[in-house]
Amino acid sequence: MRVKRGVTTHKRHQKIRKATKGMTHSNRVSIRRGKQAITKSLQNATRDRKNRKRSFRQLWNTRINAAARINGTTYSKLINALKKAHIDIDRKILSELSVNESTVMSEIIQVANKAK
């Protein structure tokens, strides 16, 4: 008995069409172009998740450096002093402290510099 595959193909095509919703006309209508567009968009999404982490760390370092310079030191000297003082606060939290709680940040910097 012959097996007709129209239902399976139609389901697969509908899945591609659903994933390409919001793309340009040719990517939505053509199944081949749609597959390529989906593949490329997933590649871009993976790359940009990595880049987002990179750019946030860069922002945090900039904020920490600004707070450190206000308190008379530099970013690298501050990080070194924190490591020597065994103060384990990650850069994200240090950045938040430098923006929202500047007094707490200056106290942390003073404690780190005393422990040097």
* Tens digit of each residue's pLDDT, the chain (116 residues): 888 889 999 999 999 999 999 999 999 999 999 999 999 999 999 999 999 999 999 999 999 999 999 999 999 999 999 999 999 999 999 999 999 999 999 999 999 999 86
Is the pTM above the cut of 0.85? no
Contacting residues for 97 by C-beta, under 8 A, at least 6 apart: 67, 89, 104, 105, 108
Q: What is the pLDDT of residue 5?
A: 87
Helix, strand, or coil (residue 90): coil
Instruction: Kindly state the tokens that stand for 66.
Output: 């600004």
- Read off the amino acid at residue 1: M
Q: What is the pLDDT of residue 97?
A: 96
Q: What is the pLDDT of residue 22?
A: 95
Domains defined along the chain, listed by start: 6-115 (1.10.1900.20)
Instruction: Kindly state the tokens that stand for 33.
Output: 């172009």
Q: What is the pLDDT of residue 115?
A: 81
Whole-angstrom Cα distance, residue 56 to residue 33? Answer: 34
Q: What is the pLDDT of residue 3?
A: 86
